[in-house]
Structure 1
Amino acid sequence: MIIESEFQPAKMLANRHVQTLIGPLLVSVSQQPKNWSEIALPDGDFMEIAWFGSDNGPLLLILHGLEGSYRSHYIQRVIKPFIIAGWRIAVAHFRGCGRKINARSRSYHSGSSDDLTAAIEHLQQSRQLPTAILGFSLGGNVLLKWLGENPDQQVVKRAMAVSVPFKLDVCATSIGRGFSRTYQKHLIGILKKKTREKLLLQLPGHQIDEPDWRSINNFWQFDHLVTAPLNGFNGVNDYYQQASSYQFLPMIKTPTLILQALDDPFMSPEVLPEEAQLGPGITLELSQFGGHVGFFDQLPPHKQPCFLGQKAFAFLTCQ
Structure 2
Amino acid sequence: MDCRVLGEVSENPYVLLLNDLSLIPISHYFFAFLAFSFAFLYHFLEFHFLQDLFNGFRGSPIGLTYNPSSPIYHGVVSKCRILHARYLATPWLSSPHFQTVFLSFFGRPPAFSYRRKLFNLSDGGTVALDWLLSSDVSGDVFSTNNAIPKGDTTPIVLVIPGLTSDSDAAYIKHLAFNTAKKGWNVVVSNHRGLGGISVTSDFFYNAGWTEDLRTVVSNLHDEYPNAPLFLVGLSVGANILVKYLGEDGDKVPVAGAVAICSPWDLLIGDRFIGRRLLQKFYDKALTTGLLGYAQLHQPRFFRLANWEGIKKSRSIRDFDQHATCIVGKFETVDTYYRRCTSANYVGNVSVPLLCISALDDPVCTREAIPWEECRANINIVLATTKHGGHLAFFEGLTAAGIWWVRATDEFLKILHSSQYMHVQKMVSFGAQSSLDSSIDQGPYVNIAEDGMVAAVGNEQAKENRTEDVLEQQKTHQRKTNEMVSGEQDDHMIKPEPCSGEIVQSSEQATTRQDSKPLDVISPVRRCLELLSQRSRWSFWLLVYVAIVTSWPLVGSALQIVFRKKLRNISRAA
TM-score scaled by structure 1? 0.91
Match of 1:306 in 2: 402
Aligned residue runs from structure 1 range 188-199, under 5 A: 188-199=287-298
Per-residue deviation at 1:188?
0.8
Within the candidate set 185, 196, 203, 2:284 is matched to 185
Look up the equivalent residue of 1:308 and give its one-letter code: W
Look up the equivalent residue of 1:44 and give its one-letter code: G
Per-residue deviation at 1:296?
0.9
Within the candidate set 209, 212, 217, 2:314 is matched to 217
Look up the equivalent residue of 1:191 and give its one-letter code: L
Match of 2:133 in 1: 53
Alpha-carbon separation, structure 2, partners of 1:88 and 1:277: 29
Does structure 1 residue 81 correspond to structure 2 residue 178? yes
Alpha-carbon separation, structure 2, partners of 1:83 and 1:102: 29
Look up the equivalent residue of 2:396 and give its one-letter code: Q
Alpha-carbon separation, structure 1, partners of 2:115 and 2:203: 26
Within the candidate set 238, 243, 261, 2:340 is matched to 243
Match of 1:17 in 2: 97
Q: Is the 8 A contact 1:120 1:130 kept in 2?
A: no
Task: Evaluate the alpha carbon distance shift between residue 212 and residue 224 of structure 1 in structure 2; reply closer, same or farther with a 3 A threshold.
Answer: closer
* More displaced stretch, 266-275 vs 156-165: 266-275
Q: Higher relative CO (CA 8 A, sep ≥ 6), structure 1 or 2? A: 1
Match of 1:44 in 2: 124
Alpha-carbon separation, structure 1, partners of 2:373 and 2:160: 27
Note the alpha carbon deviations across 1:38-95, whole angstroms, 9 max, x for none: 2222211011100002345210000100111111111111222321222110000010
Alpha-carbon separation, structure 2, partners of 1:13 and 1:307: 14
Aligned residue runs from structure 1 range 1-319, under 5 A: 2=65, 6-54=86-134, 55=148, 56=152, 57-127=154-224, 129=227, 131-153=229-251, 155-176=253-274, 177-201=276-300, 207-213=304-310, 215-278=312-375, 279-302=377-400, 305-318=401-414, 319=417
Q: Secondary structure at the match of 2:304?
A: coil
Alpha-carbon separation, structure 1, partners of 2:221 and 2:312: 44
Alpha-carbon separation, structure 2, partners of 1:211 and 1:130: 46
Q: Is the 8 A contact 2:210 2:240 kept in 1?
A: yes
Alpha-carbon separation, structure 1, partners of 2:406 and 2:129: 24
Unaligned stretches of 5+ residues in structure 1: none
Look up the equivalent residue of 1:186 and give its one-letter code: A
Q: Is the 8 A contact 2:346 2:373 kept in 1?
A: no
Note the alpha carbon deviations across 1:188-218, whole angstroms, 9 max, x for none: 1121232144232579xx8223233453111
- Structure with the largest fraction of strand: 1
Per-residue deviation at 1:254?
0.8
Alpha-carbon separation, structure 2, partners of 1:197 and 1:134: 27
* More displaced stretch, 184-193 vs 109-118: 184-193
Alpha-carbon separation, structure 2, partners of 1:44 and 1:215: 30
Per-residue deviation at 1:29?
4.0
Task: Evaluate the alpha carbon distance shift between residue 219 and residue 274 of structure 1 in structure 2; reply closer, same or farther with a 3 A threshold.
Answer: same
Look up the equivalent residue of 2:404 and give its one-letter code: L
Alpha-carbon separation, structure 1, partners of 2:299 and 2:373: 47
Q: Is the 8 A contact 2:157 2:185 kept in 1?
A: yes
Unaligned stretches of 5+ residues in structure 2: 1-63, 67-82, 135-147, 418-573
Per-residue deviation at 1:276?
4.1
* More displaced stretch, 258-267 vs 13-22: 13-22
Per-residue deviation at 1:118?
0.8
Look up the equivalent residue of 1:160 and give its one-letter code: V
Task: Evaluate the alpha carbon distance shift between residue 285 and residue 103 of structure 1 in structure 2; reply closer, same or farther with a 3 A threshold.
Answer: same
Q: Percent identity?
A: 24
Match of 2:5 in 1: none
What RMSD, in angstroms, separates the aligned Cα atoms of the two structures? 2.1
- Structure with the largest fraction of helix: 2
Look up the equivalent residue of 1:42 and give its one-letter code: S
Alpha-carbon separation, structure 2, partners of 1:72 and 1:97: 11
Q: Secondary structure at the match of 2:394?
A: coil
Task: Evaluate the alpha carbon distance shift between residue 195 and residue 87 of structure 1 in structure 2; reply closer, same or farther with a 3 A threshold.
Answer: same
* Runs of at least 4 residues off by over 6 Å: none
